[in-house]
Amino acid sequence: MNARSTAVEHRRRSAPRTTAAPAAFGAVIVGLWQLLSHHGVADPFYFSRPSEIAARIGDWLASGFLYRHLSVTLQEAFYALVIGVATGLAAGLSLARVPWLDRTVGPYLRMANAIPRLVLAPIFAVWFGLGIWSKVALGVTLVFFVVFFNTYQGVRDVDAAVLNNARMLGASERQLVRHVLVPSALSSIFSSLHLSVGLALVGAVVGEYLGSTEGVGHVVAQAQGLFNTDEVFAGMAVLMVVVLAVDHLVNRLERRLLRWQQPSTSDRSRR
């Protein structure tokens, strides 16, 4: 059996162990929550109950209510993720490879990163209206800087000896980016992607919460106004499940694209 087959077999055997521990931990937390709320230790008015939250999500699924609002939030988050990742990658690569551009634009990007994103939400609502694009713009501001800084640092950390050897072999700047810089920085880029998935959803939901007529954030805002903690927690639970599912897809894509890298001991134990 070759090394690749051994690695595949190892991941296949370790998969049940990796999923069992988080599932058991989550079951304990939910069970304890249900027990405390049932006996009045945790007031259901403020903390709700897992059983009530599950029942509310079931009602939303049965009536189709959830699909309509979730599809809007996912659309906004998807656009924010794509635009934020694309612009963050382009800016990170450009500033890391062009010193004068880094000196000229870099300080302004670092200053812009210090602006609280919540302050931008009303401005985007004025600029783009209460439709999806104000939420997309807010999500882009969250995703862009995470991807930018990780890409920038990942490219700057590429071994100078590797770059010099590639240049000695006649590689052009375009070939360096494609075959050396981007592959070497993929670990940093994927680290930013794991964060960006959640941040894109945060941008969409916060924008909906502050002003919209549809979306999961709108549902949570309406429920909060009516002191309906069941729906507030139900909306949060739906978003957590979505982030977990998308993060799983990012993990699979990362393992596929980084198969050429030798995993560290911590990576093997984590997977």
- Per-residue pLDDT reduced to its tens digit, 31-43: 888 888 877 777 7
Residue 264 has pLDDT above 50, yes or no: no
Q: Which residue is associated with the tokens 């070939």? A: 175
Spell out the domain ranges in the chain: 49-270
The pLDDT value recorded for residue 143 is 92
CB 154 within 8 A of CB 189: yes
Residues 6+ positions from 244 with CB-CB distance below 8 Å: none
Provide the percentage of residues in the chain whose pLDDT is more than 90: 13
- Per-residue pLDDT reduced to its tens digit, 193-207: 888 888 898 888 888
**Where does the chain show beta strands of DSSP type E?**
none
Average pLDDT over residues 25-54: 82
pLDDT band at 159 (very low <50, low <70, confident <90, very high): low
Cα–Cα distances (Å) from 268 to 10, 187, 229, in that order, read 9, 15, 41
> Which of 204, 216, 222 is closest to 57 using CA atoms?
216
Orientation of helix 132-156 relative to helix 99-113, angle to 10°: 130
Residue 227 has pLDDT above 80, yes or no: yes
Average pLDDT over the chain reads 80
Cα–Cα distances (Å) from 159 to 90, 149, 167, 235, in that order, read 20, 18, 13, 46
Token pair of 100, please? 């004068």
Q: Is the pTM of this model over 0.85?
A: no
Task: Please tell me whether residue 1 adopts helix, strand or coil conformation.
Answer: coil
Cα–Cα distances (Å) from 84 to 44, 77, 136, in that order, read 39, 10, 9
CB 216 within 8 A of CB 205: yes
CB 76 within 8 A of CB 136: yes
CATH architecture of the region 49-270 = Orthogonal Bundle (1.10)
Residue 151 has pLDDT above 70, yes or no: yes
Token pair of 140, please? 């882009």
> CA 117, CA 120: separation in Å to the nearest integer?
5
Token pair of 240, please? 């957590």
CB 218 within 8 A of CB 209: yes
